[in-house]
Amino acid sequence: MIGGQHTVSNSAKALDSNTTTPCRQITIRANAGTSIMYFGGSNVTAVPANAHGYLNAGESWTFGPFSPGSGIKPSDIYIIGTASDVLFWSGIPS
């Protein structure tokens, strides 16, 4: 299992730009007390133009499960929201 903590920015920022490992499943969870966060591709905005979804405080979202040998990379998921808010993520590598 891989994962970590992500500090949100007011501009689109990769969940983890250093982790390019494809994951069969990735779950993100907003920390309690955070503002709304939008997720999507690198062009996601807080308007929320191009958002694939959003999280409120304490909520989670799971990408997958994907078939073995395929998946989504943490570096391909972008988050935008209130600067300094925190979310946590965990992934199961393919």
Annotated domain spans of the chain: 2-84
pLDDT at 47 (0 to 100): 85
Q: Where are the beta strands (DSSP E) in 1-41?
A: 2-7, 13-14, 23-30, 37-40
pTM of the entire predicted model: 0.94
- Please write the tens of the pLDDT for every residue from 14-62: 999 999 999 999 999 999 999 999 999 999 998 888 999 999 999 999 9
How sure is the predictor about 69, in pLDDT bands with cuts at 50, 70 and 90?
confident
Give the C-alpha separation, 48 to 70, whole Å.
Answer: 28
pLDDT tops 90 at residue 67: yes
Q: Are 83 and 56 in contact (CB under 8 A)?
A: no
Q: Give the fold, CATH level 3, of 2-84.
A: Jelly Rolls (2.60.120)
